[in-house]
Amino acid sequence: MKPTVLTIILVSSVWGQSSDSAPSFEAADVHVSAKTTNQFTRNGQVHGGRYEIKTATMVDLIRFAYGFDNDKILEGPNWLELDRFDVTAKVPPDTSSDAQKQMLQSLLSDRFKLAVRKENRPLPTYALVAGKKPLLKEAAGSEENGCRPESASPGGTNQGMLTMMNANGTTTTLRFGPDMTIHYICRNVTMEEFAATARTMIGASLGSNAVIDDTGIKGKWNFDLRYSLQFFGPVMPNMSERISFVDAVEKQLGLKLEERPVSTPVLVVESVNRKPAENPPGTAEALPPVPMPTEFEVASVKPTDPNTRMGRFQMQPGGRLVAEGMPLRFLVNRAFNTNNNEELAGLPDSAANERYDITAKTPAGGPVLGNGDMDAIAPMMLSLLKDRFKLAYHTEQRPMTAYSLVAGKAKMKKADPNSRIFCRNMPPPPGTPPGSRMLKCQNATMGLFAERLQNMVPDLAWPVADATNLEGGWDFTLTFTFRPQMAMQVAGPGRGGEAAAGAMPEASDPTGGLTIFEAIEKQLGLKLEKQKRAVQVYVIDHIESKPTEN
């Protein structure tokens, strides 16, 4: 007789019914988010007694309310990662962050009838284990404890930088090494400390679960770790030596990172309404709209020191915008809230090289803005360029090269219609070529996929039209190599360097990676076809290279 196996799942009580004693917002406006090109979440900031969340999915709202990572919010209806909502609420002064979470829980229960429960389920995580011969140096014990990134010296190919906000409001700028390598110096650390730190290292891509120390190695150790940032920048020449974090740990430290299932607390969505209940009477009066600023309160503009190579564009707490070493073209892009250079016509070539430093302050009493609020920053930047650089422009319709997604012999799997709908950027699997990117889609319509394709590479700067005629949702994964636009241009016979109409951009890649055009055709059985489409462009009639005096 075979033994009976019992699977025990620990389940807490279901959350969903708000009680009279539960904290709640004084007033709250909830509505479906307006459709924008910047569909990302801006969360949970309090300013002037207003608590605001913008363009958040239901999964995001549950994360803010209950403190669970997105990948630990399971089940529920298929739209949880598709629909987006705005929440603006009135909170009493000095409301703690824990109280804000409880208020949001009450709101989700009252307005969406959300019911959730806690469980433990096996989820994949990484374990740090010892290899045959660990390559570690025993610490003396007097070294400063911890792992920290070391900023590289200027010089070398394909360098970049990252500006990080410190807890005290100051910033630290980290320069990457040649070919986007990062150098961590670890001193006087235990393996348990290294495992706890590994997930937070820049570009490690180890998921949201804590790394388990299963090395069995005792004591404290010194070591260096150098690896490549896979998600920064396109593939450039001579970049075939990139090394992932996982490979660096094995080759440089003699350790291994193994993925294994571990029992993990999760939050299961039992039920939730797709449409929120109407705002109660008096909400508009309690939460009058805050007008968006159209110009900076004050701004300093000056040319960048030619000896300065670094640059940043950052909205700091308190409404302070800092732009350092930014080309004039970049500033114009920000003024029109676009990353598509084809959307701007008439800019002089010098705009790509003339760099400026700007320090500006947003008006007091306005909304709280972050680095992602480019749609709110744009009108203020436009006013600044008009005032200080004498920018003048007009709009017109022009024919531009765009793409349509068409069907061949589809290689995708028909989705379970009840499964969660999403298209997520994911870390590429080990062994993929340098510079690889991965998009995983589940129960995604071709319309959603076409929408996600815009801006994934420079060639797809314009909206992609869905012309597949494929109905329903599909499951698939797209893995491609991000290469610069210039590397994907080919000369058709007798065309003077212009690719044939409808042709797929191609280029030889020594790393063996596929362009997004090749990957869509070979992996999905679809194709991106060129077409001429009339689109609106901004035509720059006048702009001066020297700003007026401060």
Write the DSSP string, 298-350: EEEEEEPPTT----EEEEETTTEEEEEEEEHHHHHHHHTT---GGGEES--GG
Distances (CA, A) of 181 to 184, 203, 244, 382: 10, 10, 10, 36
- CB 238 within 8 Å of CB 189: no
CA dihedral (419, 425, 429, 432) positive or negative? positive
- CB 443 within 8 Å of CB 423: no
- CB 412 within 8 Å of CB 521: no
- CB 440 within 8 Å of CB 424: yes
What pLDDT was estimated at residue 178?
76
307 Cβ contact list (under 8 Å, min separation 6): none
Token output for 54: 């913008």
Token output for 36: 């924008």
pTM above 0.75, yes or no: yes
81 Cβ contact list (under 8 Å, min separation 6): 57, 58, 59, 420, 421, 422
CA dihedral (26, 27, 31, 37) positive or negative? negative
Report the b/e string of 58-67 with b at 16+ CB within 10 A: bbbbbbbbbe
What pLDDT was estimated at residue 3?
39
Return d(Cα 338, Cα 341) in angstroms, integer. 8
Amino acid of residue 215: T
Local structure of 246: helix, strand or coil: helix
- Number of residues assigned to the chain: 550
What pLDDT was estimated at residue 229?
78
179 Cβ contact list (under 8 Å, min separation 6): 156, 157, 158, 228, 236, 238, 239, 241, 242
- CB 331 within 8 Å of CB 323: yes
Return d(Cα 377, Cα 60) in angstroms, integer. 24
Return d(Cα 210, Cα 150) in angstroms, integer. 24
What pLDDT was estimated at residue 159?
65
Token output for 270: 């039992």
Return d(Cα 535, Cα 343) in angstroms, integer. 8
In sequence order, what are the beta bridge partners of 303? 356
- pLDDT tens by residue, the chain, 550 residues: 333 333 333 344 455 545 557 889 999 999 999 887 767 787 767 777 889 998 999 999 999 999 999 999 999 999 999 999 999 999 988 889 999 999 999 999 999 999 999 999 999 999 999 999 999 999 999 999 999 998 887 765 556 767 666 656 566 777 788 777 899 999 999 999 999 999 999 888 888 888 999 999 999 999 999 998 765 444 444 544 678 899 999 999 999 999 999 999 999 999 999 999 999 999 999 999 888 899 999 999 999 988 776 678 888 877 889 999 999 999 999 999 998 989 999 999 999 999 999 999 998 877 777 777 888 899 999 999 999 999 999 999 999 999 999 998 889 999 999 999 999 988 777 667 767 889 999 999 999 999 999 988 888 999 999 999 999 999 999 999 875 433 333 333 333 333 333 334 444 444 567 999 999 999 999 999 999 999 999 999 999 989 999 8
What pLDDT was estimated at residue 462?
93
